[in-house]
Chains A and B, each alone.
Chain A
Amino acid sequence: MQRIDPTQMPVPVPTAASEVSVSLWGDVWLRLKKNRLAIIGLGIILILVLTAILAPLVAPYPPDQQNLGISKLSPNSKHWFGTDVLGRDYFSRVVYGSRISISIGVVAVGITLVIGLITGAIAGYFGGWADAIIMRVADIFFAFPFIVGVLVMITVLGETIPRLPLLFIAIGLFGWASAARIFRSSILQVKNLEYVEAARAMGASHWRILTRHVMPNSLAPVIVFATIATGTVILTEAALSFLGVGVPVGTPAWGLMVSEGKSHMTTEPWLVLFPGLSIVATVLGFILLGDGLRDSMDPRLR
């Protein structure tokens, strides 16, 4: 008779997905995958980002190549989106326009997040007078209408700072208050949880508690905010460009293209339609993804 040595027994290998070592973010992805709208949003964003990065490969013509002989062509097989007043290939311009939108979205929201996360973390974690000062300053920024604040800043500093960096700074600066508020309230919740107390009882320093325990667990609402804010910021840039205080005239930017095309809307509607649709699709993509992220990060579903 054969004797069984327990040390030689095969260890059962876990197979079910839930048994596999998944991090919290892995969990979020599993839930997000099931949300069709969020995946559509993610798809739009991915296409947009790839287009922006690979613009020279995607665009069939240089965006600034003028040919007055083919002015205002309607969409055809050579010029998919037609041409504009100066005979530039409109598809190429829309493709390059994604670069402006994406860079505005990434950089302005990046600035918003850096300022918002630092101030929100300090206010929420340490409380007291630091909290009072930071949140009153945030209130002042809140009281200022966003678009008016940005307009004023661009008008005042427009001569001294190049337009695109100025747009980044202006939009980033007027958005931080929301990020700070959201992060602060999230930190207020987390910092009183038991594992934070436990970390303190284990002798962790304030820095370590804040960066390893409190902040990572407070990020979820901020990520949702940032995703939706990216859409909003892209919309703001488009609005500013439409109003003529955005990127310099001649730049391929969607807002500017809508503005330049509006006088031809009745005769050459594609000049408004294509950049307009691009803006709508982009903003929608970020909002759909943000919504999906919020659902899949909701701790009540966890």
Chain B
Amino acid sequence: MNSQAPRTAVAPHPDSVVPFKNSETVLEVRDLAVHFFTDYGVLKAVDGINYTVNPGETLAIVGESGSGKSVGALAVLGLVPPPGKILSGQIIFQGQDLAQASEEELRRVRGNRIAMIFQDPLTSLNPVLSIGNQIAEVIRAHQGASRRQARTRAVELLEQVEIPRANQRFGDYPHQFSGGMRQRVMIAMAIALEPAVLIADEPTTALDVTVQAQILDLLKGLQLDSKMGLILITHDLGVVAEHADTVAVMYAGKVAEYAEVANIYAKPYHPYSIGLLGSIARLDQKRTETLQTIPGQPPSLVSVPSGCPFHPRCAFSQDVCKVEYPELLPTEHSLRRLAACHFAGNLPAPRGPGR
């Protein structure tokens, strides 16, 4: 039965009503588009995304490789590598639009008010500088502190991220630390200037599972102390369930679903979120059951499918999905529950075998 009608068009929300925005919101990304002008054509890495970061909260950005989740975060810091360009949109951080900011203004924000930690701690530290000096350097660069002040603060930070014998280890070099310890050093560097927002780009992907948990707990503890907003970029839905407050699911450079964590896990609206959650291995699953998969491949961002970018892989797709892009709109009349699907909350019967 394919008789369900698409959701009735709702007028786009007025500018003043932004999802998850409150009086304290520190960072607001609105209709951000970042395109790469490559030899093969325009690659739409990020194509009109919206999200909001509030103090003390964690926003998880989830998606497959190449869904634009990292590029969107790099754009916040003005670090989109060429041939990429911020095409349109606003990045409003504490009242300032970073999309319009000069390089010098951005430089003063980076590391200072918005910090970032990277995926691979093994390659994110400079091998010829001692870890203490690398931390101290960030402090000196932004605050003009004296060498001794910076050193004292760096040792404090190393203690804060629970590096044993911090004072003795100040002069050690990155290769003398394990992966988890290096990520702690990266975190110490990132929180050195008490940023309002911390972007963590897959901070635990390169670490083993026990260390992952330690690092995430550390981040959570720091966040409680400082009311820092955290953007957690990941593809690990287990991490999201445990550590995030809100989730933006990205697909092909767009936000497919944006909601509070508990809600999205309880009842995903977008067929892509349904597929993602369905493909997690669970302990209570019978061993004979095979894991569910989402058929097909993520699209090339140079030639994104027409209409809803997910329609070629979607078991529920209808004719309208091929021609019209479904805007990210509130469902359940709630600004805390958004999905970009014509049939959000009202999915037609799946077609085709196996689903």
Contact = CB atoms under 8 A, between A and B. Distances in A.
Contacts of B77: 201
A151 to B, nearest CB: 41
A31 interface: no
Interface in B122-175: 123-130, 137-138, 141-142, 165, 171-173, 175
Contacts of A11: 165
Contact of B128 (A201, A202, A217): A217
A203 B116 CA distance: 10
Contact of A202 (B127, B165, B176, B189): B189
Report whether over half of chain A's contact residues are helix, strand or loop; otherwise say mixed.
helix
A203 B142 contact: yes
Nearest to A199: B126
Contacts of A22: 173
B176 A216 contact: no
A216 B172 CA distance: 17
Contacts, number: 78
A297 to B, nearest CB: 12
A122 B115 CA distance: 28
Nearest to A22: B173
Interface residues on A, range: 20 to 34
A302 B127 CA distance: 11
A202 B126 contact: no
B137 A203 contact: no
A193 B127 CA distance: 11
Given A11-B165, A197-B79, A202-B138, 4 more contacts: A23-B173, A198-B116, A200-B110, A203-B138
Interface of B: 77, 79, 107-112, 115-116, 118, 120, 123-130, 137-138, 141-142, 165, 171-173, 175-176, 186, 189-190
Interface of A: 11, 21-24, 193-195, 197-205, 208, 212-213, 216-217, 302
30 contacts: A22-B173, A23-B130, A194-B118, A194-B123, A194-B124, A195-B123, A195-B125, A195-B126, A197-B124, A198-B116, A198-B118, A198-B124, A198-B125, A198-B186, A201-B111, A201-B115, A201-B116, A202-B116, A202-B190, A203-B109, A203-B138, A204-B107, A208-B137, A212-B126, A212-B129, A212-B137, A213-B126, A216-B129, A217-B126, A217-B127
